[in-house]
Structure 1
């Protein structure tokens, strides 16, 4: 049986080697995964942990605008909201990042500099022919290099799902490796690479597990569920499978890879369910913006509403969410 250590240490990564390893991974128990995700979704968060959970939800959001009608003004407004989500409450934390198309990276960088939040609120850019991934490697790398040169702190790339589903794992691996290389900067402060699997197109939990491991083998800093353009997106069972993958990768290598669910997470209750899933699967060390993000556009408004309700005792709730130490 080929192990991850064999793949990493072999110096030769090809379709045959990757296929032996990926198809040798344990199969996902679909019924068990869905039952565990459903059970964790029923956990309530005690009053003493609610405020922490809601603030954490704000702190890990990648506040996103990925529409064809995006304008410079819309991006500036997004940056202002990311820095001060609730202008009436100075205790409200900033979001982790803003996520925009790569041609709007300079606008976001400039806006955050003017707001005094450069480096504190990151700029993430979608790249590699997002969301389809249908472009030549040369074009995908140029897309990435352009965003990095413009000041993007993070790159959200999409894998070639057609190649993955056809079993051309070597091609997917090589694209991730090449994109990671395109994230390098002369000053040594490289952009972080988030690899989007587009789980709604993969068709099974086994494929989600294989794609997660493939991305990590190729050097992903984060693995991400979805572009937000395909349904289903960040379901709890899919997130469970991917969190198990980053947990098992850490057990094997000692290296932590981050996780980002994106798409369909619209309410504070949704966010808290995902945070409980992280706590109970990967562990509290992942409850930090360095290792966990929520990709969202409309979620922040509901989280802010629930923070205000909590202050007046109007938010009911629920257990098992504690800060990392």
Structure 2
């Protein structure tokens, strides 16, 4: 837990020096301890009824994602159809939380989803590199918001962060948050490029202080994406941030989460680290594309006692 946090958070962000002093004053991460705890939580076994609940919960937390240069309106419509009816043979199957696409495809997704309770998320701010002038990043956000995006996934400038230009990163997040209007803001830290667990904690706090609604691990476009130890550190950060400020922030691991076993490990970690308040799509998401297929197949296995053939789910 964070032992000392000012009554007025503005004290922390009043200057570059104050921000740097606060971020570098955060408790250091015990690398061995964090990795050992994450590994231990990953070995927890759950019984059949709890597994069925966990599978449905994980499905409801998915941001069903397509972020490829070859994306087409047809592919996005197909993905939306899958979100609306994940398993046509099981009408009680929950729907994913959101569809995540590039800004120019937001309108297609909104039209395809209609009034269904599935959000449209859009990456922005020169995703995935984050290397563009601020006015270009804000135009990227504006395009997505004007097209109807419910959520914006921005990516921080890792070069600025790693160079210690924390005020620049902070100011960009503040500006993007303002440009989002009523859309929720997820701030992607790209933890695979942050080098150390201490930097993951610092970037988490920096994003939360700047107004993030969610902090997200990864773009899915680098060699190392979501991991259990990194998500553990981020969950500790949102837990401590709520204790210090009273404001709850969501977490979204993204990239490389492909199996039901993986998803359940994350749910156990969330529950054991921050508690059940975060076990809802409002506060925890799983950024994935192929994960939904495995969850649906495991769901059907629990219901019928047998595995389906390879054509049971659509191939994305």
Q: TM-score range by the shorter chain?
A: over 0.9
* Contact kept in structure 1, 2:13 and 2:19, CA below 8 Å: no
Q: Are 2:126 and 1:129 aligned? A: yes
Give the TM-score, by structure 2 length.
0.94
Deviations 1:178-220 (A, max 9, x none): 0000001xxxxx0000000000000000000000000000000
2:43 alignment counterpart? 42
Structure 2: distance between partners of 1:135 and 1:5: 34
Deviation at 1:10, TM superposition (A): 2.8
Query: Where do 5+ consecutive residues of structure 1 fail to align?
Result: 185-189, 316-325
1:8-62 deviations in whole A, cap 9, x for unaligned?
Answer: 2338532211110000000000000000000000000111211110000100000
- SS at 2:6's partner residue? helix
Equivalent position of 1:31 in the other structure: 32
Deviations 1:247-282 (A, max 9, x none): 001111111100000010000100000010001001
CA RMSD of aligned residues (A): 1.5
Which residue does 1:271 correspond to in 2?
263
Counterpart position of 1:309: 301
From 199, 217, 231, the counterpart of 2:209: 217
2:150 is the counterpart of 1:158: no
SS at 2:145's partner residue? helix
Matched, 1:256 2:253: no
State how far apart, in whole Å, the 1-side matches of 2:195 and 2:119 are.
Answer: 32
Distance 2:169 2:14 in 1: 11
Does the 8 A contact of 1:7 with 1:17 survive in 2? Answer: no
Out of 293, 297, 300, which is 2:289 matched to? Answer: 297
Corresponding position: 1:172 with 2:169:
yes
Matched position secondary structure for 2:81 = helix
Within 5 A, what are the aligned runs for 1:59-78? 59-78=60-79
Change (3 A) 1:257 1:77: same
Query: Where in structure 1 do 4 or more consecutive aligned residues deviate above 6 Å?
Result: none
Instruction: Tell me the matched-pair count.
Output: 306
Which residues of structure 2 form unaligned runs of 5+?
308-316
